[in-house]
Structure 1
Amino acid sequence: MGAHGGMGRRRFLGVAATGMAATGIAAGSAAAGNAVATPPLQNGQGQGNGDGHGRPTRTRPCYLGTYTSGGGGGTGIGLATYQPETGQLTSTGVIEGVADPSFLALARGGQVLYAVNEQDQGAVTAIALGGGAGGPVVLGSESTGGAAPCHLSVHPGGRYLLSANYGSGSVAVHPIREDASLGARTDLVQHTGSGPDPDRQTGPHAHQVITDPDGAHVLAVDLGSDRVHSYRLDERTGRLAHASEAATRPGAGPRHLAFHPSGRFVYLANELDNTIAVCGYESGTGKLSVGTPQPTAPKDAPAVERNYPSEVLVSADGRFVYLANRGLNGITRYAVGDGGATLTLLDAVPVGGDYPRHTAFSNDGKLLFAANQKSGSVTTFTVDGSTGELAATGSPFAAPAPVCVLPG
């Protein structure tokens, strides 16, 4: 465990415990250069084995984040393709030489990939995917100025990369050069504060950093201090200016949030008190108003010792919200009402794996992928466009400690 305790949070429920049965709801920065075992297929350019009628089907790329140290078992960023019709994943190799790439983000139409290096001396790495004969190329890494970065996102303007240092509780900004590589950090904003949980909230722990739908404010979710911070990014200087701050109830441990398409409401997953909250949002000021916490699973869900909500997703039409639950090992579906202001819990489906750390929609919203950290698997669901219901499809895809799944 490092000085900031960042690795303790990421490992504290057993990153190395891959292969466990599902329960509940039934080193250092990468060097620049070519660092790939097998090149991926890019943006539907590949062909699958056919649709059963002799017609070839086009595949899409998918990228998997993992841990390469501390018993995680990964060797880099996992590469795969998936069938858009069935969601079935097929391995195509690994981008090696990227340390602890636990969270990923695509940019420039899927031609560039950014990864955190979740280590005590944190960094972010840029990879040109290209698709040429040489395969993906690691463009280099830059220090985040903090410990254990666990999330990153590209600002809508495309000129800056934002990252959240979980271990040290800070937010970093890096300029993106014309060749997609990263420049030296332009800003580092340090959070302060703590919470009542003696194991997880002794100090600030930034867990997510994203930009609101209008592109006006950058929001940073801090699990350690029970706060959501809003900033304005100066696109000329690459520096953040504080705009607003919202507090959850003590001990909530906010993890991730997702916006309703209207931009007027936010759905906030609270990891430590096992809740989700609807929040009002003012785009002009960046002010978040945290609503009443709500349950994360149906009343008849099996009892588990502890449940930790992880990723929250909103359907593109804004009619449904999905919340992944580690412990219960399921995905809860909510109906959105009153233009985004209310959530009604509908049901939960078993995730088909253990400890769903991250979930993501396919680009067309017809599939939902779940990265199950402890069972070492990625499972796939079809999404009913009318009812929002999830149905398991295909076979679980084996991967070492998958903690992020990013379909292209």
Structure 2
Amino acid sequence: MHAPRFILGFTVLTTVVANSLAAIVGQSSLQPILFAATHTRDEGWMVGTGKGVYTYKFDSSDGSLIPLGITQSYPGTQTGYVSALRMRPNGTLELLNTLESHGGNPTHISLNPSEEVVVVSNYDGSLSMFPLNDDGSLANESFHQDFPIGSKVVMDQQATGHIHSSIWLPNSNHVVAANLGSDELLQYELETTKKTLKSIATIKRPPGSGPRHMAIHPNAAFAYVVDEITNIVGVYAIDKKSGVLSSAALQNISTLPAGFTNTSTAADVHVSSNGKFLYASNRGHNSIAIFAVDKKKGSLTSVGWEGSRGKTPKSFVAYEDWMVVANQDSDTMHVFGIDADTGLLSCTGNSYDVGTPERVFDIWSYENLVHSDNADI
């Protein structure tokens, strides 16, 4: 299948995400790009000041971001929607189609490796799947499951199920969804003919942990989950034959320094391109936790913490020797250099004003993508 010319997102959160992207800013360009999605209105619990989805070209020579364009926000409702969009040459996004996600407050979307389906995580407690048409638009929902029961350990967050994200495991048709409300990782297998999901395993996280996001090691042998409520990273082995996660965590390690007692919640997690380091963001401590990774065992050793240079680092991306951190409550993005030997971060001084950044999305290097005859954008 050709690398897609489209990206997918939610109209409720004005969010856009993609797991792979073809040469859509002009095939002559070899510079990576970055999307930053923002809150654009008063949500009740916070006032968004962003203008929509910002697109940047990333200059890997100095870590600077070059603005390409802004896709203005669409009017949103509390009904959940999922949208497919195509990127124009000027960096703005063109809406292909929109369907109901059949769940409230959709918060995450993931594209399977063969680019046939997307899985939508509805925070109000359900998981949906949509096949993709050849032009990248969404076909009707082919799978749906509700999760009305939470662990009730932390009642204001776990009275019911809350599906926060999902991730596709490498070398298999397996997807794992993080249920923050029930303290569970839910593993499914994609039945490719019927375009539906079959439950194959449920992995329990510690009570009251609140699993939020996951990352896969480049060697495809380990998965990492960050727990929002308890600020813990859990390490799991991926069975090479079955593709199933280990039922018990190999390790659980805190994202916070010993002795820190103020309120903080973990948010995002990523593994470095070279597989030597793992990073997790702390909202409250306002830092990026840095861990060294044992590539054979998957275990983590704390290296230190780097201040996010802002408030509430909800999202970040790590690309080769660079990291871009989005601070939601200080309306800024900062670029850091990554030391390939130590994993430590150094602030480049490249700082950008972005209203209420909700999410920054993977940076793609075009020279690593398969170009096809799909330049008609």
TM-score normalized with structure 1 length: 0.77
> Residues 243 and 43 (structure 1 numbering): CA distance in 2 closer, same or farther, change over 3 Å?
farther
1:404 aligned onto 2:359: yes
Question: Is 1:390 the equivalent of 2:345?
Answer: yes
The answer to whether 1:42 aligns with 2:25 is yes
* Residue 298 (structure 1) aligned with residue 270 (structure 2): no
Rounded to whole Å, the distance in 2 between the matches of 1:99 and 1:385 is 43
Distance 1:340 1:130 in 2: 44
Work out the percentage of aligned pairs sharing the same amino acid. 26
Matched, 1:128 2:101: no
Q: Does 1:286 align with 2:244?
A: yes
- Whole-angstrom distance in 2 between the partners of 1:266 and 1:148: 26
Partner of 2:291: 334
Moved more, 352-361 or 222-231: 352-361
Task: Give, in whole Å, the separation in 1 of the partners of 2:245 and 2:12.
Answer: 37
Verify: 1:355 aligned to 2:312, yes or no. Answer: yes
- State the Cα distance separating 1:308 from its structure 2 match: 0.8
| Aligned mate of 1:262, from 214, 219, 236 | 219
- Contact 1:173 1:239 (8 Å CA) reproduced: yes
Counterpart of 2:330 in structure 1 is 375
Does the 8 Å contact 1:311/1:357 carry over to 2? yes
Cα distance, 1:99–1:336 mapped onto 2, change above 3 Å: farther
1:81-111 per-residue CA deviation (whole Å, 9 max, x = no partner) reads: 22212222233331124456xxxxxxxxxxx
Q: Are the equivalent residues in 2 in contact too, given 1:29–1:99 (CA < 8 A)?
A: no
Residue matched to 2:53: 77
Could you list the per-position Cα deviations for residues 274-321 of structure 1 after superposition, in whole angstroms to 9, with x for gaps in the alignment? 211212232515233342421213337xx4521111111112332111
Question: What code does the residue aligned with 1:264 have?
Answer: A
Aligned to 1:343, which of 288, 294, 300? 300
Query: Measured at CA, do residues 239 and 306 of structure 1 come closer, stay the same or move farther in structure 2, by a change above 3 Å?
Result: same
Deviations 1:17-70 (A, max 9, x none): xxxxxxxxxx7699xxxxxxxxx9826856xxxxxxxxxxx7532211122332
Q: Partner amino acid for 2:138?
A: L
Match of 2:131 in 1: 175
Map of 2:233 onto structure 1: 276
Paired residue for 2:116? 159
Partner of 1:231, secondary structure, is: strand
The one-letter code matched in structure 1 to 2:150 is S
**1:330–1:348 Cα contact (<8 Å) kept:** yes
**Preserved contact between residue 310 and residue 327 of structure 2 (Cα < 8 Å):** yes
- 5+ residue gaps, structure 1, are 1-26, 31-39, 47-57, 101-118
Aligned residue pairs total: 338
The correspondence of residues 57-68 of structure 1 with structure 2, limited to 5 A, is 59-68=31-40
Task: Tell me, yes or no, if the aligned pair for 2:113 and 2:168 is still in contact at 8 Å.
Answer: yes
Single out whichever of 280-289 and 63-72 deviates more from structure 2: 280-289
**Counterpart in 1 of 2:201?**
244
**How has the CA–CA distance of structure 1 residues 178 and 197 changed in structure 2, closer, same or farther, with 3 Å as cutoff?**
same
Partner of 2:145: 189
Contact kept in structure 2, 1:79 and 1:91, CA below 8 Å: yes
Q: State the alpha-carbon separation in 2 of the partners of residues 176 and 257 from structure 1.
A: 24
1:260 to partner: Cα distance: 1.8
The corresponding residue for 1:92 is 68
Partners of 2:284 and 2:73 lie apart in 1 by 32
Q: Is the Cα contact below 8 Å between 1:67 and 1:99 reproduced in 2?
A: no
- CA apart distance, 1:230: 0.4
Equivalent residue of 1:323, what SS? strand
Cα pair 1:244 1:285 within 8 Å, conserved: no
Please tell me whether the aligned partners of residues 76 and 95 of structure 1 are also in contact (alpha carbons under 8 angstroms): yes
Query: Structure 2 CA distance, aligned partners of 1:91 and 1:179?
Result: 27
Residue identity in the other structure for 1:187: F
Inter-partner Cα distance in structure 1 for 2:56 and 2:92: 14
**In the alignment, what sits opposite 1:111?**
none
* Contiguous gaps of at least 5 residues in structure 2: 1-10, 15-22, 365-377
Q: Distance in 1 between matches of 2:75 and 2:270?
A: 27
In the TM superposition, what is the alpha-carbon distance from 1:226 to its structure 2 partner? 0.3
Conserved? CA contact 1:261–1:317, under 8 Å? yes
Given that 2:55 and 2:92 are in contact with CA atoms closer than 8 Å, whether structure 1 keeps it comes out as no
Give the letter aligned to residue 288 of structure 1. S
Any idea what SS the aligned residue of 1:68 has? coil
RMSD of aligned alpha carbons: 2.4
CA contact (8 A) 2:221 2:237 kept: yes
Residues 175-222 of structure 1 deviation map (CA, whole Å, 9 limit, x = unaligned) = 111111111111112224312101100000001111101132110001
Matched, 1:206 2:163: yes
TM-score by length of 2: 0.83
Distance 1:29 1:141 in 2: 14
2:328 and 2:237 map into 1 onto residues whose CA distance is 32
Q: Does the CA contact (< 8 Å) of 1:42 and 1:131 recur in 2?
A: yes
Is 1:223 matched up with 2:172?
no
Moved more, 240-249 or 308-317: 308-317
